[in-house]
Amino acid sequence: MRRKADIIIIEDDEDDRIFLQDIFDSLKYPNKLVFFEDPTLVLDYLSSPAVYPFMILSDINMPKMDGFELRNKILSRPETSKKCVPYIFMSTSKSPENVSKAYDCHVQGFFRKEADFNDYKETIENIMRYWITSLTPTSTT
């Protein structure tokens, strides 16, 4: 895991993308945000040997491919699964079925999208703080 590497955000809703951009701007992390509106484009992007992101924040309910299907496809490809990139779901849903299904996909977290800027900012800050200090098999500076 490269702590200063890109953060991939897979989110089809423009308002949610803008909200997350504003939150990350206010937190001033050095990571570049790479947004994907279309989840079907993520696999090819992640398959590149030059792409080694810090983490992936993914919505669940998206057109063309939902977050569960995308996560399972990432895990099924050696060139993407071996990168050991934390995959975290951000969703408006907190249904027990979705939470269980998410962890069946071996995600590293499931968080509710907050409507309040400061609450959402605190959630993102806690996620970042955890992963910045966490060690993984591919940890680097």
In a domain, 141, yes or no: no
> How many domains does the chain contain in total?
1
In a domain, 57, yes or no: yes
Alpha-carbon span 62 to 32, nearest angstrom? 23
> What residue numbers bound the domain in which 121 lies?
7-133
In a domain, 119, yes or no: yes
In a domain, 138, yes or no: no
Q: For the domain that residue 25 is a member of, what is the CATH number? A: 3.40.50.2300
pLDDT by 10s per residue, the chain, length 141: 578 899 999 999 999 999 999 999 999 999 999 999 999 999 999 999 999 999 999 999 999 999 999 999 999 999 998 888 999 999 998 899 999 999 999 999 999 999 999 999 999 999 999 999 988 766 554
In a domain, 27, yes or no: yes
- Model pTM above 0.85: yes
pLDDT at res. 72:
96
In a domain, 82, yes or no: yes
In a domain, 129, yes or no: yes
Query: String of b and e for 44-74 (b: at least 16 CB within 10 Å)?
Result: eebeeeebbbbbbbbbbebeebebbebbebb
Q: H helices of the chain, where?
A: 14-27, 42-47, 67-76, 78-81, 96-104, 117-133
pLDDT at res. 117:
97
In a domain, 2, yes or no: no
